Amino acid sequence: MVVPLAVESTWILASIPVVGLVLLVLIGRAFSGGGDEWSTGRRGGSGGEDVVCPRCHHRTPPDATRCPECGKSL
């Protein structure tokens, strides 16, 4: 039995909004600093929150320039 191309590709067309939504969420998290894995700068430095060391994940005060545990520059 031959299935028309429109029926076969319906799942592809239906998945486009889902993929778009996932990409929007990931991009939004990247720019809002929603996760440590996405942060590129000093996380929480302006809000008075502790800074998390990217190497050992030790929490330090926001004014620290080096991690007291491993010595990595923040």
Assess whether pLDDT exceeds 70 at residue 38.
no
Count of structural domains, the chain:
2
Worst-scoring range by mean pLDDT, 6-10, 12-16, 70-74? 6-10
Q: Domain for residue 40, yes or no?
A: no
The SS3 of residue 51 is strand
Range list of H helices, the chain: 5-8, 10-32
Residue 52, strand partner residues: 59
Whole-structure pTM value: 0.36
Residue 42's pLDDT band (cuts 50, 70, 90): very low
Q: Domain for residue 25, yes or no?
A: yes
Q: What pLDDT is recorded for position 47?
A: 60
CB-based contact 46:55 (threshold 8 Å):
no
Residues of the domain holding 63: 45-74
Across 4-9, average pLDDT: 66
Same domain, 49 and 73: yes
Across 62-66, average pLDDT: 86
Task: Report angle CA 22, 24, 29 to the nearest 5 degrees.
Answer: 100
